[in-house]
Amino acid sequence: MESTLSRITRSSLADQTTELLQALIQNRCVNDGTPDSGHEIRTVRTLQEFFEGSGLDGVVVEPHPGRASLIIRIPGTDPAAPSLALVGHTDVVPVEASGWERDPFAGEIVDGVLWGRGAIDMLNLTAAYAVVTRAIARGAEGVAPFRPRGDLIFAAVADEESGSTFGVEWLTDNRLDLIDADYVLTESGGAPAGNQPGIGVMIGEKGVAGRTLRVKGTPGHGSAPWGSRNAGVIAAEAVRRLSRFQTPTVISPQWRRYVAGLDLDEVVSGQLVDPHQIFEALPKIGKLGNFAHASTHTTISPNVIRAGEKLNVIPGEATVDLDIRVLPGVTSDDVDGYLREALGDLMSDITFEGDIFGPSSISSTETPLFDVLGRAVRRAYPGADLLPMLAAGGTDGRFYRRRGVPAYGFGVLSERWDYGTFRQLFHGHNERVDLESIGLTVNALDYVVREFLGEGLGLRRD
């Protein structure tokens, strides 16, 4: 008996991806940050059913009950040819259902748009990776089976939304043999920007640092505050100084190339790549303003501020948790230096705690895979260029880039998207994707895999 999911091999890549995406959304693999959440095993089972009869055997790892990942490798014919991994996470972040116009876990299609948590981050890509992988082995409507020269790896991984402890980090430390590759595609890219669309491709991501400021004051009676050293008041001044502090503006070659592709007013474009004028341009570019700032600065955001326990007691202690995102090349010592400079004379009442630090990671655009991505985009948007971007948040790409493996966030979305809307839906209410984008992305990925792993390029591993 054929199951529903295996029956769809006779339909188009786009229809298969749509149907599989609905199933993945309905699996509700919600990762709330606790080890017992996620339940990615549900999606592993769905994918096993999807691959049934395709002749592809996967390996399942489950480092914690329920936190499973599935990895399938299609061996290439030529050991000297480079391999390509498609790495998609299967977990999603929680929802606040009251903010949604539709059921976040139904996977409904309304007027050509598929709604649900994970529709864009990144179950759409994970589903497309599975569909492309199966079509390589078994074909699909309009697509013949194909024997790759280099290995193709499909990895459906757990726990990306909470640091990848039970996903790619665990696999890197314990089963690198399963997921290792010469090149990687993962989230998140594909949003058009500008009038002659440039298509965003993530070539790297910022690093993360965490610090807690501990502020010392002097406790006292709340009825007589004059002359007191209220730790809450000192913390408030620290927050104010941090919010006004400017870390150095860094105009990288990647940022220049991105801005050039945006097709903005010439004056604004010029300001965006001039460290002395960039702050004049930020308010003029709408939803892209905070992204432009984050792309060119190490950012410091005081996100958790605590002081005081009782109404009539002047707090003697306060803490401020800082979410710090660092640019390439910025070190943990640089971060402490920025904080000392920002806080100035307040440092006599403040100590830093915590030394969380993960550096930024970035991949070269001078690779044969990057060229193939550009060609794939131009099949959908003739004349379009790739816009290399640095993600402000983290993805599984960093575990590869840190080992020197180029990893790109790639997709192709329809013209109804812009980068501002795309970012808003990540972890936001009413996450959704249009069916046209699903088709554009899966067909682009199918092209990339066949082109990159085919005979034509004659690539060799170095």
Question: What residues make contact with Zn ion under the rule CB under 5 A?
Answer: 121-122, 187
> Which amino acid makes up residue 212?
T
Q: Which is nearer to Zn ion, 257 or 401 (CB)?
A: 401
DSSP state of 459: -
Residue 56's closest CA among 123, 153, 127, 126? 153
Number of H helices, E strands in the chain: 16, 19
In the complex, what is the shortest distance from the CB of residue 304 to Zn ion, in angstroms, rounded to a whole number?
Answer: 23
Please give the Cα distance from 135 to 8 (Å, whole number): 11
In the complex, what is the shortest distance from the CB of residue 391 to Zn ion, in angstroms, rounded to a whole number?
Answer: 10
Q: Which is nearer to Zn ion, 29 or 330 (CB)?
A: 29
Please give the Cα distance from 323 to 295 (Å, whole number): 16
Apex 380 CA angle, 202 and 205, nearest 5? 0
In the complex, what is the shortest distance from the CB of residue 259 to Zn ion, in angstroms, rounded to a whole number?
Answer: 25
Q: Which is nearer to Zn ion, 85 or 330 (CB)?
A: 85
In the complex, what is the shortest distance from the CB of residue 187 to Zn ion, in angstroms, rounded to a whole number?
Answer: 5
Q: Which is nearer to Zn ion, 187 or 434 (CB)?
A: 187
Q: Which is nearer to Zn ion, 121 or 349 (CB)?
A: 121
In the complex, what is the shortest distance from the CB of residue 122 to Zn ion, in angstroms, rounded to a whole number?
Answer: 4
Please give the Cα distance from 53 to 362 (Å, whole number): 39
Please give the Cα distance from 407 to 248 (Å, whole number): 27
DSSP secondary structure of 212-229: EEEEE---EETT--TT--
Please give the Cα distance from 435 to 429 (Å, whole number): 19
Phi (first) and psi of residue 2, to 5 degrees: -85, 135
H or E element that contains 156 = strand 152-157
In the complex, what is the shortest distance from the CB of residue 396 to Zn ion, in angstroms, rounded to a whole number?
Answer: 8
Please give the Cα distance from 441 to 447 (Å, whole number): 10
> Which amino acid makes up residue 47?
L
In the complex, what is the shortest distance from the CB of residue 160 to Zn ion, in angstroms, rounded to a whole number?
Answer: 6
Q: Which is nearer to Zn ion, 40 or 121 (CB)?
A: 121
Please give the Cα distance from 313 to 219 (Å, whole number): 7
Q: Which is nearer to Zn ion, 159 or 180 (CB)?
A: 159
In the complex, what is the shortest distance from the CB of residue 121 to Zn ion, in angstroms, rounded to a whole number?
Answer: 4
Please give the Cα distance from 234 to 318 (Å, whole number): 8
Please give the Cα distance from 24 to 41 (Å, whole number): 11
The CB-nearest residue to Zn ion is 121
In the complex, what is the shortest distance from the CB of residue 210 to Zn ion, in angstroms, rounded to a whole number?
Answer: 20
Q: Which is nearer to Zn ion, 54 or 162 (CB)?
A: 162
Q: Which is nearer to Zn ion, 151 or 187 (CB)?
A: 187
Phi (first) and psi of residue 84, to 5 degrees: -135, 130
Please give the Cα distance from 443 to 448 (Å, whole number): 9
